[in-house]
């Protein structure tokens, strides 16, 4: 039986700050979903907190951690990186994994025929290992990636592609982007609505937003939960576990209209969503 509890927890340290309310709807009541150890996570190391507590909002159903990383916490987390967060490896496999997604994004663009005549702008938020950035460039876009990990950005720059160590909340752009992608990003940020609102500001009126993240309602998630092998429960970089419904609600709250849904060919239990700006 779930016990109703106030969202603000008493667990506070210099590396994490408790949420004062649900980061999606602002609700102040949440049920405890569970507390798990993350000591076996590849990136965990002292002095990072060694457990994650997950809550579920009583108002909107969103599942989130009881706290989020401070700047000091993020600096500590970013001291290490998973191999898939940095450029390198089997590029043909990476290219093939992204081609279908890029093609779906192109098909959703009202101006898709223009990519054969001009380079439309593409902002890849959280460009990581560069797989999406390289593939978008191959498809004819003027693509630039941003990432908070310095090493990830450096490796991409060294390969001759455009990348910046930057945050979407503070970057400036000379003109709006026709595509903004957030591949496996939104579950990492502390306040997703801020990021979506900023994406709305940066996106062209005829542009497309792409998001991929885990879906707690898919069959794989449920099976992994039942087997107690769900890797996302101990993912120390994540703050959110979206469902299709809560992601759609977040998009609509930030004046987006979802226009496409698919499953990710890269990570288990992940969904891929396309959205466009809602008419003002
Ligand atoms: Zn909520």
Q: Kindly give the distance from the C-alpha atom of residue 64 to the centroid of ligand 1, in angstroms, as a whole number.
A: 9
Q: Kindly give the distance from the C-alpha atom of residue 174 to the centroid of ligand 1, in angstroms, as a whole number.
A: 35
- Phi first, then psi: what are they for 221, rounded to 5°? -60, -45
Q: Kindly give the distance from the C-alpha atom of residue 24 to the centroid of ligand 1, in angstroms, as a whole number.
A: 5
pLDDT, tens digit, 9 for 90 and up, residues 44-61:
999 999 999 999 999 999
Interhelix angle 131-138/91-108, nearest 10 degrees: 60
Model confidence at 13, pLDDT cuts 50, 70, 90, reads confident
Q: Kindly give the distance from the C-alpha atom of residue 61 to the centroid of ligand 1, in angstroms, as a whole number.
A: 6
How far apart, in whole angstroms, are the C-alpha atoms of residue 193 and residue 280?
18
pLDDT, tens digit, 9 for 90 and up, residues 224-257:
989 988 889 889 899 999 999 999 999 999 999 9
Rounded mean pLDDT of 30-34?
94
In this model, does residue 3 exceed pLDDT 60?
no
Out of 2-16, 192-206, 218-232, least confident range: 2-16
- Phi first, then psi: what are they for 166, rounded to 5°? -160, 165
Q: Kindly give the distance from the C-alpha atom of residue 232 to the centroid of ligand 1, in angstroms, as a whole number.
A: 20
Q: Kindly give the distance from the C-alpha atom of residue 23 to the centroid of ligand 1, in angstroms, as a whole number.
A: 7
Burial of residue 169 (CB within 10 Å: 0-12, 13-18, 19+) is exposed
Q: Kindly give the distance from the C-alpha atom of residue 31 to the centroid of ligand 1, in angstroms, as a whole number.
A: 11
Q: Kindly give the distance from the C-alpha atom of residue 99 to the centroid of ligand 1, in angstroms, as a whole number.
A: 35
In this model, does residue 27 exceed pLDDT 60?
yes
Q: Kindly give the distance from the C-alpha atom of residue 25 to the centroid of ligand 1, in angstroms, as a whole number.
A: 4
Q: Kindly give the distance from the C-alpha atom of residue 8 to the centroid of ligand 1, in angstroms, as a whole number.
A: 13
Model confidence at 117, pLDDT cuts 50, 70, 90, reads confident
Q: Kindly give the distance from the C-alpha atom of residue 7 to the centroid of ligand 1, in angstroms, as a whole number.
A: 10
Residue 254: the pLDDT is 98
In this model, does residue 2 exceed pLDDT 60?
no
The residues placing their C-beta within 5 Å of ligand 1, an ion, are: 22, 24-25, 27, 57, 59-60, 62
Q: Kindly give the distance from the C-alpha atom of residue 119 to the centroid of ligand 1, in angstroms, as a whole number.
A: 40
For strands 162-165 and 63-65, give the pairing: unpaired
Q: Kindly give the distance from the C-alpha atom of residue 21 to the centroid of ligand 1, in angstroms, as a whole number.
A: 8
Rounded mean pLDDT of 9-32?
86
Cis peptide before 47 (omega within 30 of 0): yes
How far apart, in whole angstroms, are the C-alpha atoms of residue 128 and residue 163?
10
Q: Kindly give the distance from the C-alpha atom of residue 264 to the centroid of ligand 1, in angstroms, as a whole number.
A: 25
How much of the chain exceeds pLDDT 70, in percent? 95
Residue 194: the pLDDT is 98
Rounded mean pLDDT of 213-224?
95
């Amino acid at each position: 039986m779930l016990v109703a509890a106030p969202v603000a927890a008493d667990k506070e340290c210099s590396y994490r700050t408790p949420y004062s309310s649900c980061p999606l709807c602002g609700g102040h009541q949440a049920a405890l979903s569970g507390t798990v150890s993350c000591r076996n996570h590849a990136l965990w190391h002292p002095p990072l907190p060694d457990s994650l507590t997950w809550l579920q909002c009583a108002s909107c159903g969103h599942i989130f951690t009881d706290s989020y990383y401070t700047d000091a916490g993020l600096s500590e987390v970013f001291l290490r990186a998973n191999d898939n967060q940095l450029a390198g490896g089997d590029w043909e496999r990476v290219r093939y994994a992204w081609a279908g997604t890029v093609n779906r994004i192109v098909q959703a663009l009202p101006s898709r025929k223009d990519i054969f005549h001009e380079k439309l702008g593409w902002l890849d938020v959280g460009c990581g290992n560069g797989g999406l950035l390289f593939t978008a460039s191959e498809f004819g876009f003027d693509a630039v990636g941003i990432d908070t990990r310095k090493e990830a950005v450096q490796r991409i720059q060294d390969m001759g592609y455009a990348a910046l160590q930057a945050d979407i909340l503070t970057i400036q752009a000379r003109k709006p982007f026709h595509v903004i992608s957030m591949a496996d990003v939104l579950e990492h940020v502390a306040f997703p609505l801020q990021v979506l609102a900023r994406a709305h500001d940066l996106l062209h009126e005829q542009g497309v937003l792409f998001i991929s993240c885990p879906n707690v309602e898919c069959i794989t998630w449920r099976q992994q939960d039942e087997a107690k092998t769900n890797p996302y429960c101990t993912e120390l970089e994540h703050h959110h576990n979206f469902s299709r419904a809560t992601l759609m609600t977040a998009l609509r709250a930030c004046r987006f209209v979802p226009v496409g849904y698919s499953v990710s060919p890269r990570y288990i239990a992940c969904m891929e969503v396309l959205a466009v700006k809602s008419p003002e």
